[in-house]
Structure 1
Amino acid sequence: MQSNYFQQLTQDLKQQGTGTPQLILDLKTYQHNLDYVQSKLPAKLKPRLVVKSLASIQLLKLASEKLNSQRFMVFHLPQLAEIMGTFPQADILLGKPMPIQAVKPFYQTLSEQNKTNDQVNIQWLIDDVERLKQYLQLAQELNLKLNINIEIDVGLHRGGVSGQAQFVALLKLIQQYSSYLKLSGLMGYDAHVAKLPKILKSPDKSYQQSQQIYQHYKTILQQQFPDLSHETLCFNGGGSPTFMQHCQQSICNDLAFGSMLLKPSDFDLENLSALSCALWIAGPILKVLPCSQIPGLGLLNHLPHKYKAVFIYGGYWRADYIYPKKSQPHVLYGRSSNQEMLQVPMQCDIHVDDYVFLRPTQSEAIIPKFAQLYVYTEGKFLQWQTLRE
């Protein structure tokens, strides 16, 4: 982003802003990212939007309409009911195994309308036999038939099925209790592909290996349990870092992503270079001092200073200061989530009631911290409610 963009944003915030830290969505950039993603998705890969990364119903609605998908991945159980209430034909895959202690009250408090809504499809993620037995007991108690998606370890080593014996045991249990359990698919998350140091393994090789592991489990399912294998099974994979690789070649039919649509800095990857950051934090400036003064180190105050000290409203977010350029927290003064002190280059023309801007490292860590998302479009701000934690 160019300096004049943030200068204009500052002027618009000074006229229309709240005077408190605001989370800004640049609508034009978000729409550009959606257009790009739509252009790259092959027909055989159905997009699944990750709710925690796009934690606003309006954000999700816009993406759902553009990508023609009501498939969602949910990681936080309270958000499940909100998605069900908003998207009447939602296909929901849980992104992590939910403790039975959380699942039981979910079903007990579910409205009768949602209980009978057979158009909403919930796939519960299962990672081991003991957890599946808990879900089976719940299904028997409540007279339910639960859709079960099995988490497989494709190289991330964060749990899930990691061997044939465990996989077969899960499938046998589903097969044995077919009145209460139904296999809905597999999920293999491959975030490690982009994060492994290249000196250890190239992303391409790591991706191919993860795909081979995935295929191994698919083959076991198809050959040993043909009655559980059918064309409508959900073979979910991905994550934003491997989006492009899945688009080029994938044995999956269901691709989860979300963060890359907002492009926080953790997703500054070569294969996502066509996407741009659409999310910013705007922090109002409360105080501007000629230089930083460190308590107990008065001698430093007599040295030449290259920076002035700026104190902002809030701070210590999972985000990097992006404007004014070369602004940074002071190493010795420390961080603050109340009034963070920022070093700003001395020549920078900045004043009380101006704004500094930060780029989040992750959208999922930032959006739920703010009650509203301020959608910046044509010099104006719309307010979209967020899904809180």
Structure 2
Amino acid sequence: MHSNNPVPSETSAPLQDSILQYHALSKLLAEAGISQPTLVIDQAALNRNIAQLKQILNEGFVHRLVVKSLPCMQLIDHISAQTQSETQRFMCFHAPFIQQIASRYALSDILLGKPLPAAAFEQLLVWFMQQPKSKSAPKLSQVQWLIDSHARLEQYQAIAKKHHASLRINLEINIGLHRGGFSLNAEFEDTITLLEKSNNLRFAGLMGYEAHAAKIPSILGGLKGALDASWHSYEAFKERVEHLSVPGTCFNSGGSTTFTEYTAKAPCNELSV
């Protein structure tokens, strides 16, 4: 919407600045003939945020871009170009996003942000296998399929066998959020054994989300205390899969509310933001 109302003289300077910016933006939208709800990005502020992220990445991390938060391919291009190297890493949550990213970025590595139901997984698997065999076409090898339970892994293995497919498997681990994922127990041991013996499944890494850390009150240790506990849990999982790990294995963590606290002592090698 736009308005021709003047700025009240009694308002504070910061508020006056905001109102003036609002009127200027409103004028630009009107001149462009844009009257529908529109998302506007402050590119200068965005670039300052990117610069802050790059300072953290210099601690020894790579960046995985969370696609669901960025509803615009040009915006994804802009951030990826400034924060990523040859391999473009993305976190996707739904099939249409996975298909778009895999089609747009031939060198992309896509980690799912949540496990897909078996039926949805099979549909997407078939889509990948039907793509042309060309260098720039989407490939099944671009995807790390997120698994949160032994039962789901058995479902995926049966589907992979049916289609003679080879899958990269990333295990979601519970490091304190308790939204799901593996604990260090017999189920996790059974899952590791299945991965070791399978001809269709290959261990690709771990994903531990710690969004709860930013909400822990200071009397209970606050953000830093919660992160320390999460990192300790993550290390225990890493030790259990050490024999399956190779250079480049994905150890993913982080989030937009926590990434600023990450240092070289963190157990992960990439941050999702």
Instruction: Specify the alignment match of 2:260 in structure 1.
Output: 244
Q: Contact 1:90–1:119 at 8 Å: present in 2 too? A: no
Q: What is the identity, as a one-letter code, of the residue corresponding to 1:11?
A: K
Instruction: Specify the alignment match of 2:25 in structure 1.
Output: 9
TM superposition score normalised by structure 1: 0.62
Residue segments in structure 1 that go unaligned for 5+ positions in a row: 258-389
Q: What is the identity, as a one-letter code, of the residue corresponding to 2:221?
A: K
Cα distance change of structure 1 residues 114 and 101 upon mapping to structure 2, 3 Å threshold = farther
Q: Is the counterpart of residue 77 in structure 1 residue 122 in structure 2?
A: no
In 2, the alpha carbon distance for the partners of 1:74 and 1:35 equals 23
Q: CA RMSD in A?
A: 1.9
Q: Is the counterpart of residue 113 in structure 1 residue 132 in structure 2?
A: yes
Per-residue deviation at 1:198?
A: 2.5
Compare relative contact order (CA 8 Å, sep 6+) and give the higher one, 1 or 2: 1
Instruction: Specify the alignment match of 1:126 in structure 2.
Output: 147
Per-residue deviation at 1:120?
A: 5.0
* SS in structure 1 of the partner of residue 146 of structure 2: strand
Q: How does 1:1-389 map to 2 (within 5 A)?
A: 2-42=18-58, 44-69=60-85, 70-110=88-128, 111-113=130-132, 121-177=142-198, 179-222=199-242, 226=243, 228-247=244-263, 249-257=265-273
Per-residue deviation at 1:2?
A: 2.8
Per-residue deviation at 1:162?
A: 1.6
Percent identical across equivalent pairs? 36
Q: What is the identity, as a one-letter code, of the residue corresponding to 1:192?
A: H
* SS in structure 2 of the partner of residue 185 of structure 1: strand
Residue segments in structure 2 that go unaligned for 5+ positions in a row: 1-16
Q: Contact 2:214–2:257 at 8 Å: present in 1 too? A: yes
In 1, the alpha carbon distance for the partners of 2:42 and 2:222 equals 34
Per-residue deviation at 1:29?
A: 2.0
Instruction: Specify the alignment match of 2:4 in structure 1.
Output: none
Rg (Cα) greater in structure: 1
Per-residue deviation at 1:170?
A: 0.7
In 2, the alpha carbon distance for the partners of 1:181 and 1:244 equals 34
Q: Contact 2:56–2:263 at 8 Å: present in 1 too? A: yes
How many corresponding residue pairs? 252
In 1, the alpha carbon distance for the partners of 2:260 and 2:74 equals 25
TM superposition score normalised by structure 2: 0.87
In 2, the alpha carbon distance for the partners of 1:163 and 1:139 equals 26
Per-residue deviation at 1:10?
A: 1.8
Q: What is the identity, as a one-letter code, of the residue corresponding to 2:213?
A: V
Per-residue deviation at 1:209?
A: 0.2
In 1, the alpha carbon distance for the partners of 2:179 and 2:80 equals 29
Question: More strand by proportion, 1 or 2?
Answer: 1
In 2, the alpha carbon distance for the partners of 1:200 and 1:17 equals 52
Q: Contact 1:88–1:120 at 8 Å: present in 2 too? A: no
